[in-house]
Amino acid sequence: MSGPFITLTTDFAEDFFAGVIRGVIARINGDARVVDLTHAVSPGDLRAGAFALLAGCRWFPRGTVHVVVVDPGVGSGRKILCASTDDYCFIAPDNGILSWALTREKNVTIYSVEERRFFLEPVSATFHARDIFAPAAAHLTLGVRPEALGPALTRDRIVWIDFPEPVTGDKGELRGEVLYIDRFGNCITNLPAARVAELDPATLRIETGSLRLAGLRRSYADEPEGTALALVGSAGFLEIATSMGSVAERFRLEVGDPVTLSVARD
């Protein structure tokens, strides 16, 4: 019989920290299956971590525990959270990184992780991922209830990062922004597929920085190599990309850059 899943989303990159927290989990529950969602979040980049979790967490089996360690406030007075939903549990610092993923979850209950019997001792002031996050997650996979980790918290008592919702302009255009740039240089926007679908794809115009695009493509290969294009990507948002290249580098696009969708007028 296969064990429960624990995912890791961190800014640890190739350092030894990720291996250590995998070892801690194995010591407590050797049957848990640990999956690296990503360790490539830029150091301390809460929005990038929030987007990676939003895009990735829902593809795992019900009962998965998602551990998120992008934690520039480690060792400070910030809380550590356990968020329980109908499908998952999340362990993360109280810095807003869970905000976007939790908006898609049902029946969210949040707890402050304080019960030291589920920690490793002594607790390092600089490695809570090892001494608190990992053991708490492992204990959850052994059947410990989230409420055993500490007292419940209401949403108004935790840090929340609002998702940057697109807005409709005076002329009916849809205004959004670059939300995330992946390792290929594709610019993922905050414009969801459902909102893009409201516009006629044949007359759709996309603008960001110096880049002007007409219409949507189905895949990256629908244009010749090096050609910029727009499509709805696998995360369910409009992407701006370049076939076989980095659109971010070529057009000097950055997270936060405005993106406008409009319909060509005769």
As a CATH number, domain 167-263 is 2.40.30.90
pTM, rounded to two decimals: 0.93
Least confident range from 7-21, 47-61, 63-77, 202-216: namely 202-216
Provide the pLDDT confidence category of residue 266 given band limits of 50, 70 and 90: low
Domain boundaries, the chain: 5-157, 167-263
CB 44 within 8 A of CB 10: no
| Angstrom distance (rounded) from CA 241 to CA 238 | 10
pLDDT above 80 for 215: yes
Which residue, chain included where needed, has tokens 């690296």?
Answer: 36
At 51 the pLDDT is 97
In tens, the pLDDT along 99-147 reads 999 999 999 999 999 999 999 999 999 999 999 999 999 999 999 999 9
Q: Return the CATH class of domain 5-157.
A: alpha beta
**Which residues fall within 8 angstroms of residue 259, CB to CB, at 6 or more apart?**
175, 176, 177, 178, 187, 189, 191, 206, 207, 208, 238, 240
